[in-house]
Amino acid sequence: MRWTPGGSDSDIEDRRGVSFGGGRMGGLGLGGLLIVGILSFVFKTNLFQFFDNGAAPTETSAPVSTTPEENQRYEFVKFVLNDTQDTWTTLLPKETGVPYQHATLVLFRDVMQSACGTAEAASGPFYCPGDHKVYIDLSFYDELKSRFGASGDFAQAYVIAHEVGHHVQSLLGIDQQMRSQPGSAKALSVQLELQADCLAGVWGHSTQERKLLESGDIESGLNAAAAVGDDHIQKMQGQRVSPDSFTHGSSAQRVAAFRTGFEAGTLASCHATR
């Protein structure tokens, strides 16, 4: 992927030097956080409080120690964040009449406190609609490559674009629309995740139009989508594939959703306004 370092970091909140003690959310993973978040919306009650161990998290700060590799990764994440937000700043009001409001990307290490509760790096990147922030521990990219076999710049870019896609959903009130739909929390979660994949594909379409993609980039993005499919993860963990337990969708579903947005390049293709 063709990209350049530099650019504004005004939408980045670097909290890699911050650590927390206590107040962890009972070991909830990303899927658990998402389901509890949806149920909180449905019942209009902060259900996260029932998972807190009762101790307020203690925050301490220290100077951030980085490596040249991490600095390079920081520059890339910053480029992708700025590019996705510039894209939606143009596209969102054009297609929906809704102005785009920038999300903030929070960089952290190990554990982070958000408006959606406390999350761990092991949970992976996530978007919190409570504070309109994307949270990511940059070490996730090592896991994406080593554990999931998804490497390449565009695979890493897909992760950011997917989370910004959740922000677009929040701005359009799609999560609120989901409240009135019948179905289980997990089924609603899958719908939201697949649509975010599609919205990531819409951004990918724009990068292709601007000739930012290089040979193999599309395949890299599709491979990343497939690698984080629920069925693939269950197989990796030695579990039986159980569609009823899916929270993000199968590999085939995630690839198809990303491809839909990538080929069409419009929010309408993702049913974002319905």
Structural domain boundaries, residue 50 = 12-270
**Which residue has better confidence, 38 or 209?**
209
Confidence (pLDDT) at 23: 45
- CA 205 to chain CA centroid, nearest Å: 18
Domain count, the chain: 1
Phi-psi region of 136 (alpha: psi -120 to 50; beta: other; left: phi over 0): beta
142, part of any domain: yes
145 pLDDT tier (thresholds 50, 70, 90): confident
Residue among 150, 101, 124, 129 at smallest CA distance from 251: 150
pTM of the model: 0.83
34, part of any domain: yes
31, part of any domain: yes
Q: How far apart are CA 124 and CA 29, in angstroms?
A: 8
4, part of any domain: no
Confidence (pLDDT) at 31: 53
Q: Which pLDDT tens digit goes with each residue over 130-142?
A: 999 999 999 998 8
149, part of any domain: yes
1, part of any domain: no
Amino acid at 247: T
Burial annotation 63-73 (CB, 10 A radius, 16+ → b, else e): eeeeeeebeeb
6, part of any domain: no
5, part of any domain: no
Dig out the tokens for 84 from the structure.
């996705």
Residue 161: exposure state from Cβ atoms within 10 A (0-12, 13-18, ≥19): buried
Burial annotation 22-34 (CB, 10 A radius, 16+ → b, else e): ebbbeebbbbbbb
Confidence (pLDDT) at 233: 85
